[in-house]
Amino acid sequence: MMLDGTTAEVANRSALRINPAKTCQPIGAMYASLGIQGCMPHSHGSQGCCAYHRSHLTRHFKEPVMATTSSFTEGASVFGGMANLNQALKNIFTIYNPDIVAVHTTCLSEVIGDDIPSIVAKARESGAVPEGKIVIHANTPSFVGSHVTGFANMVSAMVNYLSESTGETKNQINVLPGYVEPADMRELKRLAAAVGVDIVMFPDTSGVLDGPLTGEYELFPRGGATVEQIKSSGDNIATLGLGHFASHIAAATLESKCNVPAAFLELPIGVTATDRFVDALRSYADVEVPEAVENERGRLVDLMSDLHQYFHGKRVAVSGDPDHVIALTQLLLELEMKPVYAITGSTGNQFEKRMHELLDGPVPEAKIKQNADLFELHQWMKNEPVDLLITNTYGKHIARTEDVPFVRFGFPILDRAAHRYYPTLGYAGAINLINQILNVILDRKDRDCPEAWYELVQ
């Protein structure tokens, strides 16, 4: 097996990443851009990156993912990418005719130091950007941060370029959903509607990356947050930024730019975090939580009570984006499971700080690490095994080598398809997640138990 060579002995490595638990900024920016209606993501760099980012998103979502590239060649790397971007914008508006182009940089254009705003301004002057069309941009050097940083930067670019305050307050709440699946975004909208609150959510990839099969191929599917909606975010009552790493900068920017108060919440995974989300909606919009939502919550708690005996004390290893791991850890604790190892490939001390707050009490032995990789997590598991592994697809080699029950969660999931339809956020999402965890634990029990213990009823 691929990881048979992994040894239990953990040595300090400074120069090397083995089996990364993160990827680079531009793909996050590309994903965020897809959440604007009528938007063409544009990668300012060489072709390869764009091709990789598109294939990777395609593998995860099983949907067409469009993005254009400045197609840098050696010349551009020496003389700068201005001519390429100008030409690209001209072509993009001529052929694909999007409402808006969202430009992100790659490591190459960052190192060269292309100044995107001034290139775009010149392009506009020269007529490459037609009247009424919008171009926004985010700097996403891939040698800083991770795909989550890229996502956060692009969401904050949306605020920077688009949000406006007209002075008139609208009775709506902004929701910045974080780096989550289209199904999660759909679920957030549903939940807010059920609570009776009007929200403006961006980015919103539902309808874009989970579109129906119609026999037509639409370059710009009808989902996504409209430019108008994002503009209106400056007039709304408040902003709920979900996930520190993915949404903090944008929410803070909106607060300082348009005076919209920002509330920072963790991703609503599990009961407590979803309660916080619902409560924030309720209090800002000044509404009562309707019975239907109370019932939804009640069904989740009922399920947890039915099943708690299967989860109690089980040791879990978790890897993923920092916002995901923090929120997921809370759900695991609600189930009385023991997240003994938790890592993220992304960087940011906030992760370790928050994880210690969560785990120091209930799981004092927990090992927590930012800027880590899956190889290291695997080594920890070799030293002291776990009962469950939760990571994106890349954990599958570890799960097989160590023969550990495995739940896929996060980004990317390359080897399964239906994940894009099942939310993990909100009360309904928690039911889905708990179901997945239960199934792998009981499947394992059925597989391994002696014949006498192989029973119909669990």
Partner 1 sequence: MPASTDIAILPDRAASIVEAGSAGGPVKCGKGSVAGSVSQRACVFCGSRVVLYPITDALHIVHGPIGCAAYTWDIRGAQSSGPQLFRNAFSTDLQELDVIYGGEQKLEHALLDLIAQHGPKAAFVYSTCIVGLIGDDVKAICKRVAAATNIPVLSVASEGFKGTKKDGYRAACEAVQHLVGTGDTSDIGPHSINLMGDFNIAGESWVIRDYFERIGIQVVATITGDGRVDAIRRCHGAKLNLVQCSGSMTHLAKSMEQDYGVPFKRVSFFGIEDMAAALYETARFFDSPELLDKARALVAEEVAKIMPQLSAWRADLNGRKAAVYVGGAFKAFSLVRALRTIGMTTAVVGTQTGDAEDYDQLREMCDPGTIIVDDSNPLELAKFCLAQDVDLFIGGVKERPIAYKLGIGFCDHNHERKECLAGFVGMLNFAREVHATVTSPVWNYVPRRAGAAHLELEEARS
In the list partner 1, ligand SF4, none, the entry touching 68 (Cβ below 5 to 8 angstroms by class) is partner 1
* Residue 24 makes contact with ligand SF4 by CB under 6 A: yes
Q: Which is nearer to partner 1, 118 or 295 (CB)?
A: 118
What's the rounded Cα separation, in Å, for the pair 234 and 362? 41
Q: Which is nearer to partner 1, 74 or 125 (CB)?
A: 74
Q: Which is nearer to ligand SF4, 29 or 262 (CB)?
A: 29
- Name the residue whose CB lies closest to ligand SF4: 48
Site string for ligand SF4, 139-178 (x = CB under 6 A): ---x------------------------------------
Q: How many CB atoms lie within 10 A of CB 368?
A: 24
* Residue 52 makes contact with ligand SF4 by CB under 6 A: yes
Q: Which is nearer to partner 1, 92 or 155 (CB)?
A: 92
In the list partner 1, ligand SF4, none, the entry touching 122 (Cβ below 5 to 8 angstroms by class) is none
Q: Site for ligand SF4 (CB under 6 A): how many residues? A: 9
Q: Which of 6, 21, 26, 232 lies at the binding interface for ligand SF4 (CB under 6 A)?
A: 26
User: Which of these segments, 29-37, 43-51, 210-218, 420-428, binds ligand SF4 (CB under 6 A)?
Assistant: 43-51
Both tokens of residue 391?
Answer: 């990571």
Q: Which is nearer to partner 1, 277 or 351 (CB)?
A: 351
- Whether the CB-CB separation of 383 and 315 falls below 8 Å is answered with no
Vertex 251 angle, CA 54 and 150, to 5°: 25
Q: Which of 111, 287, 301, 449 is catalytic?
A: 111
User: Which of these segments, 42-50, 178-186, 231-239, 408-416, binds ligand SF4 (CB under 6 A)?
Assistant: 42-50
Q: Write a three-state SS string for 83-152.
A: HHHHHHHHHHHHHHCCCEEEEEECHHHHHHCCCHHHHHHHHHHHCCCCCCCEEEEECCCCCCCCHHHHHH
Residue 96 φ/ψ, nearest 5 degrees:
-95, -20
In the list partner 1, ligand SF4, none, the entry touching 19 (Cβ below 5 to 8 angstroms by class) is partner 1
109 closest CA partner among 155, 58, 135, 73: 73
Least distance from C-beta 23 to ligand SF4, angstroms?
7
3-class DSSP assignment, residue 213: coil
Q: Which is nearer to partner 1, 115 or 415 (CB)?
A: 415
What's the rounded Cα separation, in Å, for the pair 455 and 458? 7
Q: Which of 24, 50, 101, 107 is catalytic?
A: 107
Q: Crossing angle, helix 182-195 and helix 291-311, to 10 degrees?
A: 130
What's the rounded Cα separation, in Å, for the pair 242 and 265? 5
* Residue 21 makes contact with ligand SF4 by CB under 6 A: no
Q: Edge-to-edge strand order for the sheet containing 315-319?
A: 367-369, 338-343, 315-319, 388-391, 406-408
Q: Which is nearer to partner 1, 296 or 321 (CB)?
A: 321
Residue 24 catalytic? no
Q: Which of 49, 191, 281, 431 lies at the binding interface for ligand SF4 (CB under 6 A)?
A: 49
Least distance from C-beta 284 to partner 1, angstroms?
35
Residue 111 catalytic? yes
Q: Which is nearer to partner 1, 322 or 345 (CB)?
A: 345
Amino acid at residue number 12 = N
Site string for ligand SF4, 89-128 (x = CB under 6 A): -----------------xx---------------------
Least distance from C-beta 143 to ligand SF4, angstroms?
7
In this structure, the strands spanning 199-201 and 170-176 are: parallel
Q: How many CB atoms lie within 10 A of CB 118?
A: 10
In the list partner 1, ligand SF4, none, the entry touching 220 (Cβ below 5 to 8 angstroms by class) is partner 1
Q: Is the peptide bond before 130 cis (omega within 30 degrees of 0)?
A: no
In the list partner 1, ligand SF4, none, the entry touching 429 (Cβ below 5 to 8 angstroms by class) is none
What's the rounded Cα separation, in Å, for the pair 187 and 386? 31
Q: Which of residues 267-306 bind ligand SF4 (CB under 6 A)?
A: none
- Whether the CB-CB separation of 151 and 179 falls below 8 Å is answered with yes
User: Quick one: which H or E segment has residue 299?
Assistant: helix 291-311
Residues annotated as part of the active site: 107, 111
Q: Which residues here bind ligand SF4, judged by CB under 6 A?
A: 24, 26, 46, 48-49, 52, 106-107, 142
